Amino acid sequence: MHKIAALLFSIIFILYCHTTYSEVLSKPPIQLATKYQADIAVAEYLVSEKLDGVRGYWDGSTMLTRSGRKVALPASFTLGFPNVAIDGEIWLGHNRFEQVSALVRRQQVPDEEWQHVTFMIFDLPQHPGTFVERYLAMKILVQQTNSTHLQVIKQQTVASTEALFNQLDDVVNAGGEGLMLHFKQAQYTVGRSEYIVKLKPKYDAEAVVVGHTQGKGKYRGMLGALVVKTPAGIVFNVGSGLSDKQRENPPLIGSIITYQYLGFTQKGTPRFATFLRERPSQ
């Protein structure tokens, strides 16, 4: 009996490993954005909302994440999708990142759970034209496909830097994450590109230090993160932005720090919190 049980366990383990391995393919050849710089000529770019979803790459038959993991989409979702490469965002709506991320990671999902998910197109990697030409091709492609799960992210010209930041405020106030700027005359290039720019708001706030966590790896024996508490009572960790010197001699419990963050999670926790400075004692 023990031998049979061991054999069955080995078979299950091999099948599991094979399944897990087959889910991870090569990383897709995608274009990556750079951060916004104040000296860019805004009118030379098309501007769109930066969606808070999961980056997706449709290679003509399979949906891949940025890391190369295969997304287990139901056939009903991709019905009629074109056999050309599409770069976009798997999106469920504003402030739904946690839900769509969990959905993408699952290997068996009922079709109805994908019903309200949309693959929002923002580029065509294999199209040889400029971004303006690619944007026109995207709209034609969606019209021809006629799928409720395939849409184009709206692009528009913004006349000035002032207008750009006004649009950023509108997007953020509506629950969005930020903006993306595509240089109108640029071709699609793989890797980090100065011709695609992301602009996200950053906020500053203060919190009191209520604890320390121990560092790991290269920070072993030093501070890993500050445990802080906001005036509203939200407790979270701040581990980024600290120098080695600050990790060796961290702000004391009870001290007040200023941190930077990019919006909130659904639980009200600041996203991507980064240490800026310790407030001087009075």
Annotated active-site residue in 50, 202, 218, 229: 50
Active site residue 267: no
| Sign (positive or negative) of CA dihedral 37, 136, 153, 150 | negative
What DSSP string describes 130-141? Answer: -HHHHHHHHHHH
Cα torsion for 106, 112, 117, 123, to the nearest 10°? 80
Give the pairing type, strands 191-199 and 178-183.
antiparallel
Given the DSSP bridges, would you call strands 150-152 and 118-123 parallel, antiparallel or unpaired? parallel
Q: Which residues are catalytic?
A: 50
